[in-house]
């Protein structure tokens, strides 16, 4: 039975409301537009409202969604948007996950380790859900085997369990790294290879459920910590960029979220769908937008790729002593300084219509900087 309120168009994925039990739920504080009150643009801040969640809230309802990676950067935004859109969400978390944001949302949490051999521990929950949004992944690892265990084998195991449980749609958040940089002809990093292998593993379940594979490019926005050092450097009057002519096509997190929500109701797509901004930029354009975002004119340092590679190598060496995965390594250095990462999003726009990226680089970086300032990160 549908929820009470204004009528909405039913979806093929709609299932009875009782299909996802509400054993452990808490409510977040949302305004009338589905905007969390601690986000930039909430009415309490007297700033202009941001439309990020409103854009996905006006769509139709899917009764039940199983979300992996809900405590991460992109997954956290997805959890909020799915709840605001009226979905019944079960979010998987790891034992070590910071779940404070999820604790404020009306959803259920379960513990799931995608790297455990023998299949996910979520079979009973999957049987209650109509769709899976698989966002959980390792983006940092000590070696390729760790990437493969979680990103490839974990995806294969989860997809098989979902198909066996009768899940109707499986939306996999892959990465442009699975395709590789422009002209490479394939993935060039352990992370990219693990994502490509995960995509290949989904072929075995396409006959059992609808599968959509989304390949976001570089994702940025509020709560992202990877780009925070660049913002802090820019706030001190310096912006370091690679001495490179390779174009960029980074995508704001809200545009990725709206693409994922659209994929829950879109026609099945046989090929991966690239998700990126509408425009491509040079590093100089990004540098100017970054300085404008922090409201601090400064000097632009154009460094050769060798400097970034050396920094990545030093970071790897330091992390070997601690046993922790490096936040910045040679793979990320090459991604930033040596490769072009662009894609044609027209096929994605056709399949996910009316989805389209709405936030340009200037506005996206400004929103991100505002969020950092509100958290005293800048």
- Does residue 24 belong to any structural domain of this protein? yes
Residue 113 has pLDDT above 70, yes or no: yes
Q: What's the CA gap between 371 and 377, in Å, rounded? A: 8
Query: Which tokens go with 186?
Result: 């394939």
Q: Burial-class residue 29 by CB neighbours within 10 Å (0-12, 13-18, 19+).
A: exposed
Rounded to the nearest integer, the mean pLDDT of the chain is 83
Query: Which tokens go with 264?
Result: 């829950």
If phi > 0 it is left, if psi is from -120 to 50 it is alpha, else beta; for residue 302 that is beta
- Does residue 269 belong to any structural domain of this protein? yes
Helix ranges (DSSP H) in the chain: 52-57, 73-84, 100-103, 123-126, 144-147, 154-165, 190-201, 228-235, 253-263, 283-293, 305-322, 330-337, 346-352, 361-374
Q: What's the CA gap between 125 and 19, in Å, rounded? A: 9
Total domains, the chain: 1
Question: Is the four-CA dihedral 290, 295, 301, 306 of positive or negative sign?
Answer: negative
pLDDT in tens, 205-249: 999 999 999 999 999 999 998 889 889 999 999 998 888 888 999
* 169 DSSP β-pair partners: 131, 210
Residue 29 has pLDDT above 70, yes or no: no
- Does residue 199 belong to any structural domain of this protein? yes
pLDDT in tens, 159-187: 999 999 999 999 999 999 999 999 888 99
Give the per-residue pLDDT at 134: 98
Q: What's the CA gap between 53 and 71, in Å, rounded? A: 18
Residue the block writes with tokens 């660049």: 230
- The average pLDDT across 43-61 equals 40
Domain that holds residue 44: 17-219+252-278+342-360
CATH number, position 47:
3.40.50.720
- Does residue 73 belong to any structural domain of this protein? yes
Residue 27 has pLDDT above 50, yes or no: no
- Does residue 210 belong to any structural domain of this protein? yes
Query: Which tokens go with 275?
Result: 């998700």
Integer angstrom CA distances of residue 201 from 103, 154, 175, 185, 205: 32, 10, 15, 19, 8
Give the per-residue pLDDT at 28: 35
- Does residue 236 belong to any structural domain of this protein? no
- Does residue 171 belong to any structural domain of this protein? yes
- Does residue 300 belong to any structural domain of this protein? no
Q: Burial-class residue 90 by CB neighbours within 10 Å (0-12, 13-18, 19+).
A: buried
């Amino acid at each position: 039975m549908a929820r009470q309120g204004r009528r909405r168009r039913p979806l093929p994925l709609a299932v009875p409301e009782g299909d996802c039990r509400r054993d452990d739920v808490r409510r977040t504080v949302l305004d009338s537009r589905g905007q969390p009150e601690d986000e930039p643009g909430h009415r309490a801040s007297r700033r202009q409202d941001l439309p990020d969640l409103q854009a996905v809230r006006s769509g139709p309802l899917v009764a039940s969604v199983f979300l992996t990676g809900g405590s991460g950067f992109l997954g956290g935004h997805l959890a909020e948007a799915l709840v605001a859109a009226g979905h019944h969400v079960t979010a998987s978390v790891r034992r070590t996950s910071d779940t404070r944001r999820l604790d404020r949302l009306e959803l259920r949490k379960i513990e799931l380790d995608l790297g455990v051999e023998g299949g996910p521990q979520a079979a009973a929950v999957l049987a209650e859900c109509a769709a899976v949004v698989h966002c959980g992944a390792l983006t940092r690892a000590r070696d390729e085997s760790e990437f493969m265990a979680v990103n490839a084998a974990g995806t294969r195991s989860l997809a098989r369990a979902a198909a066996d449980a009768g899940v109707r749609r499986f939306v996999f958040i892959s990465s442009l790294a699975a395709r590789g940089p422009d002209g490479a002809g394939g993935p060039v990093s352990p992370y990219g290879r693990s994502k490509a292998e995960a995509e290949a593993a989904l072929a075995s379940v396409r006959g059992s459920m609808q599968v959509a594979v989304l390949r976001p490019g570089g994702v940025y926005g509020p709560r992202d910590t990877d780009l925070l050092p660049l913002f802090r450097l820019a706030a001190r009057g310096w912006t370091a960029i690679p001495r490179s002519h390779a174009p960029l096509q980074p995508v704001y997190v809200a545009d990725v979220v709206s693409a994922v929500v659209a994929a829950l109701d879109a026609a099945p797509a046989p090929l991966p769908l690239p998700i990126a901004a509408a425009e491509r930029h040079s590093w100089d354009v990004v540098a100017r937008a970054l300085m404008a975002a922090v409201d601090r004119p400064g000097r632009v340092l154009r460094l050769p790729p060798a400097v970034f590679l050396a920094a990545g190598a030093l970071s790897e060496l330091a992390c070997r002593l601690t046993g922790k995965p490096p936040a910045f390594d040679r793979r990320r250095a090459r991604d930033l300084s040596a490769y072009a990462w662009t894609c044609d999003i027209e096929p994605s726009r056709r399949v996910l219509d009316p989805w389209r990226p709405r936030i340009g680089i200037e506005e996206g970086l400004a929103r991100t900087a505002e969020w950092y300032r509100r958290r005293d990160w800048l």
